[in-house]
Amino acid sequence: MPFVKDEFFIKEPIPAFVMLMQKYGITQSEAQRIIDRGRILVEGQRLADKAVEISGFTEVVIFRAIAKGIEPIFKTPDFMVFDKPSGVLVHPRKMDTPHSMLDEVRYYGGKKANSTHRIDKETSGLLLASIHKDAEKFLKCAFETKDIQKGYRAWVRGRIDNEFVVKESIIVNDDYSNIKHKVFINNQGKKAQTEYKPILYNSEYDATLLECIPYTGRTHQIRIHLFHVKHPILGDPLYGTSYEIAEAYLEQRLSPEDRLRYTGAKRLMLHAYSLSFEYRNRFFLTSRDDFNRCNDLAQKSIRDNNIYDGYKRLTNVIQI
């Protein structure tokens, strides 16, 4: 578990932030952040005053990386690149999250290392992490200014033979009572553009492997754009299924067997395949996983399932 509780006894009064700096070798701002987040207790009481001197029985909840062997595939003195597996969070959502990529980042990069962008839990592929704060600031800024180009690959329903571009604005959903989608296509939303290029078609699964190039960075952009053109990503439990299936997934009631049956795959078949950027030198990095395999796909096409007609009716209804 990455967040652990250290317990010790302090004999002589000392400012709380100074104690944290000395014990953990961190900066004053990092120490104050621990206090602000309520992660230090003195004699069982959560510390609220940053400046107070403390003594006695003290508990500190601290992040301590416990790696599971997801080593970086590329490393420099400034940054690392990982091939993140599907199903692994980039950051822990709560203190009892058993494992996330932050464990691997801090284990292999040190206590100041950090991921510089986010990938959804079920999306696999390249994750760029900084090793020091200067690199973190530079790389996060480069993502914001689109100086880092990202390429994805996705297995989608149906056959696609030609390249195409989707330029549809995206708006965040604020009402989940009827549809469980996180975002919608809507002219009043933020502009978004994604280019798609077919790589290969698998007739056994009636599925096409696409190269996906997002030119903007909207939430679920690749997923909603593919859903909009009626080629949703296989394994997507939100965009391309019924309300009932989406709700079951969000409430963790959807069994792996039903996930495979109703979405066509065991997981979201989206993969962060490439990164292109400049940091002192020009880098173009690709995943070691070419994502061409079909191990996670259903044994027959999604169009053979009885949910397919309902899916087609649903897509016709919600394109706004």
**pLDDT one-digit tens code per residue, 75-126:** 999 999 999 999 999 998 877 788 999 999 999 999 899 999 999 999 999 9
Residue closest to 149 by CA, chosen among 31, 282, 57: 282
| Domain end position, chosen among 144, 159, 181 | 144
Range of the domain at 125: 74-144
CATH classification of the domain holding 185:
3.30.2350.10
Residue 68 resides in a domain: no
Mean pLDDT, the chain, rounded, equals: 88
Q: Side chain identity at 233, as an amino acid letter?
A: I
Same domain, 173 and 242: yes
| 206/82 same-domain check | no
Q: Identify whether residues 91 and 207 lie together within a single domain.
A: no
- Please give the positions annotated as active site: 120
> Which of 144, 165, 189 is where one domain is finished?
144
% the chain with pLDDT above 90: 63
Dihedral-angle region of residue 40 (phi above 0 means left; psi in -120 to 50 means alpha; beta otherwise): beta
Q: Which amino acid is at 151?
A: G
Closest CA to 139 of 81, 100, 84, 221: 81
Give yes or no for residue 45 having a pLDDT over 90: no
pTM of structure: 0.83
User: What CATH number does the domain containing 56 carry?
Assistant: 3.10.290.10
Do 91 and 47 belong to one domain?
A: no
